[in-house]
């Protein structure tokens, strides 16, 4: 059993590590539902004492979701690797490694090779929102109390609020890609100013051509020079190669999983799609590689057996999510499968294009060029850094390749760029593929904007007329 720090500045990451270990403990019991053992209070009594407080915080529906047989193996992989990530991060902090908070579109191989302790700023909000009854609302409320606008992005606001409250370590710097949105840029600018540390910005090109790739590669070189000054050392080629090889393995498994989801019936569950994004933000670590490897093996086993994941006797409805998932209610996607037979194929925050390349590790130049190419293909960065055609064409391709029956577009309230796009996307997908679209408002991290019960009502109404 790991020793957990009681330091305030590790409150959030310590909760995650305990939650991962707690999930492993519960999943190893002979349980299929909390009610089997008399409900949450009865199960609490069988837990070791150091798990009980954390257990009280976890969403009850999430526990029941991961206990379903179809979800268990993915839940074990998720819990195992979040727990290992937490333990590794705390070791880095104990060794005095400098913390870099980075935007989720960055793969972190250079940060790892320079011996930083990288933490994705958006994961702080997303994972906390996904696990706990109160989500990341404390962080959101903290920064809004400082006067920060309530209509900006909760994926950054939760993390910024945790910094204000001292729940996460102080940064050595922030790392931000300029695309895809102004709302995230504002939070990073505020945080760097507030904590008087450098903000390293990687400027995104507007186009998706070879000239744009060369520009972005030069931006990555400039980023590395600045990171080297903060780290006090030069980037080691062999260390960078090691971490890129790990990220290549992870992306290869992710691409194979995407391909397997084209099968009918779909062999992959939808509740873990936000978890996929969390581990995409850890590309370069063994934890991301091991998570996607375990997920691939689970999905491949179902394909080999000709199995899907919706209840027997239900007609499978294949959904693509034209923008993003919501993080605050992972069991919602399990509910869609069980009640409506609606399976989750792809979305903007987990999709890598079908021609995504592995990074060439021959030498430093090929690796930096590969990192530039990878950044151009990262989920959401790809769709938003250029013309709207990229986003639209991706979902025309997805709708065809995955035999999609409907396109669900949950519009995150902070994403102003998407509110200018979603009707264009809806119309063009309908024109090109005949696929109908459901459009609705929500907040990715904050359930107070559109509640879980309201999301279910929207879906019930849609499928009643589908």
pLDDT at 4: 56
CA distance 427 to 463: 20
Closest CA to 180 of 188, 168, 172, 170: 188
Mean pLDDT by 10 residues, the chain (466 residues): 68 95 94 92 92 96 97 97 96 97 94 98 96 96 91 90 96 92 88 96 91 96 98 98 98 96 97 95 97 98 97 95 93 97 94 88 98 91 84 94 95 81 92 95 94 96 91
Query: In this predicted structure, what is the pLDDT of residue 285?
Result: 98
How much is the CA Rg of the chain, to the nearest whole Å? 21
What DSSP letter does each residue of 372-439 carry, written as one string? HHHHHHSTTHHHHSS-HHHHHHHHHHHHHHTT-SEEEEEEETT-HHHHTTHHHHHHHHHHHH---EEE
Smallest CA-to-CA distance from 65 within 333, 451, 410 is with: 333
- The CA distance from 112 to 244, in Å, is 10
Give 343's contacts (C-beta < 8 A, 6+ positions apart): 265, 266, 268, 270, 308, 309, 310, 316, 317, 318, 319, 336, 337
pLDDT of residue 5: 61
pLDDT of amino acid 2: 42
pTM over 0.85: yes
**Alpha-carbon distance 31 to 37, whole Å?**
8
């Amino acid at each position: 059993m790991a020793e957990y720090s009681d330091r305030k500045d590790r409150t959030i990451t310590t909760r995650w590590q305990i939650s991962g270990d707690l999930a492993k403990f519960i999943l190893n019991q002979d349980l299929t539902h909390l009610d089997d053992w008399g409900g949450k209070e009865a199960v609490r009594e069988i837990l070791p004492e150091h798990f009980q407080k954390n257990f009280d915080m976890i969403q009850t529906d999430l526990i029941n979701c991961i206990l379903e047989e179809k979800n268990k193996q993915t839940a074990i992989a998720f819990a195992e690797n979040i727990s290992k990530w937490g333990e590794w991060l705390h070791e880095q902090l104990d060794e005095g490694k400098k913390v870099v908070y980075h935007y989720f579109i960055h793969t972190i191989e250079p940060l790892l090779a320079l011996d930083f302790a990288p933490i994705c700023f958006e994961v702080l909000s997303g994972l906390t929102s996904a696990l706990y009854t109160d989500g990341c609302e404390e962080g959101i409320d903290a920064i809004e109390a400082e006067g920060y606008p309530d209509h900006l992005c909760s994926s950054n606001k939760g993390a910024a609020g945790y910094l204000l409250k001292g729940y996460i370590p102080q940064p050595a710097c922030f790392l931000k890609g300029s695309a895809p949105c102004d709302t995230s840029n504002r939070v990073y600018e505020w945080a760097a100013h507030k904590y008087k540390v450098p903000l390293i910005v990687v400027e995104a090109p507007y186009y998706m051509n070879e000239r744009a790739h060369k520009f972005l590669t030069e931006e990555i070189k400039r980023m590395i020079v600045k990171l080297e000054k903060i780290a006090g050392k030069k980037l080691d080629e062999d260390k960078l190669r090691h971490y890129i090889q790990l990220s290549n393995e992870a992306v290869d498994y992710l691409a194979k999983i995407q391909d397997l989801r084209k099968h009918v019936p779909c062999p992959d569950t939808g509740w873990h799609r936000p978890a996929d994004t969390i581990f995409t933000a850890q590309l370069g670590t063994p934890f991301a590689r091991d998570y996607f490897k375990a997920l691939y093996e689970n999905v491949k086993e179902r394909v080999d057996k000709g199995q899907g994941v919706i209840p027997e006797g239900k007609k499978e409805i294949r959904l693509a999510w034209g923008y993003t998932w919501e993080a605050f209610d992972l069991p919602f996607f399990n509910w869609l499968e069980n009640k409506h037979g609606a399976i989750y194929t792809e979305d903007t925050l987990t999709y890598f294009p079908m021609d995504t390349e592995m990074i060439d590790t021959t030498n430093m130049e090929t690796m930096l060029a590969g990192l530039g190419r990878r950044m151009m293909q990262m989920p959401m960065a790809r769709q938003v850094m250029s013309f709207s055609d990229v986003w639209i064409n991706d979902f025309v391709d997805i709708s065809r390749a995955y035999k999609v029956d409907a396109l669900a577009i949950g519009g995150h309230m902070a994403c102003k760029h998407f509110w200018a796009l979603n009707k264009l996307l809806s119309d063009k997908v309908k024109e090109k593929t005949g696929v109908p679209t459901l459009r609705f408002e929500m907040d990715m991290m904050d359930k107070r904007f559109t509640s879980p019960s309201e999301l279910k009502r929207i879906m019930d109404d849609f499928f009643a007329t589908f």
